[in-house]
Amino acid sequence: MKYLSTRGDAARPRFCDILLEGLAPDGGLYLPERYPRIDDAALTRWRGLSYAELAFEILSLYIDDIPPADLREIVSRTYTAEVFGTPDIVPLTRLDGDRGGLYLEALSNGPTLAFKDMAMQLLGNLFEYELGRRGETLNILGATSGDTGSAAEYAMRGKRGIRVFMLSPHGRMSPFQQAQMFSLQDANIHNLAVEGVFDDCQDIVKAVSADLAFKRDKRIGTVNSINWARLLAQVVYYFAGWLQATTSNEQRVSFTVPSGNFGNVCAGHVARMMGLPIERLVVATNENDVLDEFFRTGRYRVRGSAETHETSSPSMDISKASNFERFVFDLLGRDAQRTKQLFGDDVPRGGFTLDAAEHARVREFGFVSGRSSHADRVETIRTIAQASGVVVDPHTADGLQVAAGLRGPEPMIVLETALPAKFSATIVEALGREPSRPAGLQDIENRPKRFTVMPVSVDAVKQYIAQNTR
């Protein structure tokens, strides 16, 4: 399997090359030259497999430069009950009894209590394997609006040959999220709190990655969902959810995905392109509704820092969805020149609008969307808790609220984003009590913190990396 850039770079690297590289040299995002198609026999064969076995089957369709025995060992070591709290890894919970099939897919049982662990734990093991095989080191540069950072750091802490430089918006994460990251004392972990919003952090990551001389000299890689390997790992749980919710290969389901950066729901798009029977992919946004606006109107209107709202679902406080380019590339028939035109230098200055014919194709790919507000989140948390006894976090509440207005006759699976313990203020507002916390995390906010405050400056970040990679 070879990979191409959404912006037309001529190179066709293989998986392990893009695993360590992140962005393509032309600034585009990598996708496979083709999506492997899954037939009825494969779906039948995959029923009854463990999550690790299913992951191996799917990943091996895209990874042919790691020996199968090695890949199977990496996957088996990643997806265990010890790491994810249950042998099912991503169990479904039915929220509406027998009234039609509203499910919650648990993705937050990993070490940092968020769905990002599902991919990041695999990435940590893949990075260590490939760097060891090459005898190389890697400096990971990432940006987080809340959960990616801690998931990456917990997956990479202590890994041989790896340093992590993680950018986050200063003061814009929940206290729990901040503590998860900043309390890590490992020498290979560097937390940089940027005096801006998440989009500023992501812009810095892209700018550093676009400086090819610096990137290669400092061995810069990425763990954000611009890295194809991370998105690929997320494809697996769409298949796992569908397999649990259905009894025959003809049954279709829909997924609702709380979304800010478009990586999570883009994995669903890949699964659908592979032939998984997905009826609709429902994109749920908060007040930062750039994606909802696009799917409704065809206009992708990027907002600046001043227009990016600080909300009670902070991991979705994003107004420039860095993974969105992958979907638009497919939407436009994989026209790299048109994609480059849309996502070039003009995007930060206002975005673009598809013509009517281009926008009409959105429905062919199964996408619909909706938005949620703080009041919606609080009411949904309260309603779900009263009806089912399940307490959800604010981002998952965004998904459930939007799903309620867009459900069809098919089962609807809402992807869980994080455990409610990470967002206690909103849970207290909704339920009048603190959410329960896993053992060992009761005092996390009081632990010593280690981080560096940074201006919104590409040069300042590059200087810090240079000083700490000597």
Domain range list for the chain: 90-113+228-431
What integer pLDDT is reported at residue 99 of this predicted model?
57
Nearest to 38 by CA among 244, 237, 277: 277
Catalytic residue among 116, 159, 206, 218: 116
Residue 98: the pLDDT is 56
Strands 138-143 and 220-221: parallel
Closest by alpha carbon to 214, among 301, 141, 124? 141
Cβ-contact 443, 171 below 8 angstroms: no
On whether the 90-113+228-431 domain is CATH 1.10.8.60, my answer is no
Instruction: Tell me which residue of 189, 191, 155 sits closest to 170, measured CA to CA.
Output: 191
Residue type, 433: R
Q: How confident is the model at residue 156 (pLDDT cuts 50, 70, 90)?
A: very high
pLDDT at 348: 47
Q: What is the pLDDT of residue 345?
A: 65
Q: Is 441 exposed, middle or buried (0-12, 13-18, 19+ CB in 10 A)?
A: middle
Residue of higher predicted confidence among 443 and 453: 453
Specify the pLDDT at position 65: 96
Residue pair 452/464 in contact (Cβ under 8 Å)? The answer is: yes
Strand order in the sheet with 253-258: 92-94, 102-105, 412-415, 253-258, 278-285, 367-371
Helix residue ranges, H only, 223-371 = 228-245, 263-273, 290-297, 324-331, 336-343, 356-360
The pLDDT tens digits for 277-325 are 999 999 999 999 999 999 999 999 988 888 889 999 988 988 888 899 9
If you write DSSP's letter for every residue of 232-272 in order, what string do you get?
Answer: HHHHHHHHHHHHHH-SSTT--EEEEEE-SSSHHHHHHHHHH
User: pLDDT (tens digit, 9 = 90+) per residue, 228-270?
Assistant: 999 999 999 999 999 999 999 999 999 999 998 899 999 999 9
pLDDT in tens, 74-119: 999 999 999 999 999 999 999 986 556 899 999 999 998 999 999 9
Query: Can 116 be counted among the known catalytic residues?
Result: yes
CA-to-CA distance for 450 and 430, rounded, in angstroms? 32
Model confidence at 440, pLDDT cuts 50, 70, 90, reads: confident
Q: Residue 452: its pLDDT value, please? A: 96
DSSP 8-state assignment for residue 404: H
What pLDDT, on a 0 to 100 scale, did the predictor assign at position 294? Answer: 96
Q: What is the pLDDT of residue 201?
A: 92
Longest CA span, the chain: 61
Listed residue (320, 317, 301, 299) closest to 309, CA to CA: 317
* Helix/strand/coil for 419: coil
Indicate whether 434 pLDDT > 60.
yes
Assign 209 a pLDDT band (cuts: 50, 70, 90). confident
Q: What are phi and psi of 56, to 5 degrees?
A: -60, -45
Q: What global pTM score does this model have?
A: 0.91
CB distance 125 to 455 below 8 Å: no
Determine the straight-line distance between the first and last CA of the chain, rounded to whole angstroms. Answer: 36
pLDDT for residue 346: 47
The two structure tokens encoding residue 320: 């420039």
For 77-84, which contacts have Cβ atoms below 8 Å and span 24 or more sequence positions? 77/125, 78/52, 78/121, 78/122, 78/125, 79/50, 79/51, 79/52, 79/55, 79/121, 79/122, 80/52, 83/110, 83/111, 83/121, 84/109, 84/110, 84/117
The per-residue pLDDT for range 332-366, each reduced to its tens digit, is 999 999 999 999 764 545 689 999 999 999 989 99
Phi-psi sector, 44: left (phi>0), alpha (psi -120 to 50), beta? alpha
Helix 51-59 × helix 68-78 angle, to 10°: 140
Q: Which amino acid is at 333?
A: G
**pLDDT at position 322:** 83
Average pLDDT of the chain to the nearest whole number: 93
Cα–Cα distance measured from residue 392 to residue 105, given in angstroms and rounded to the nearest whole number: 11
Average pLDDT over residues 57-62: 98
What are the two backbone dihedrals, phi and then psi, of residue 335, each rounded to the nearest 5 degrees? Answer: -85, 100
Identity at 461, one-letter amino acid code? V
Q: What is the mean pLDDT of residues 366-382?
A: 97
Residue 43 scores a pLDDT above 60: yes
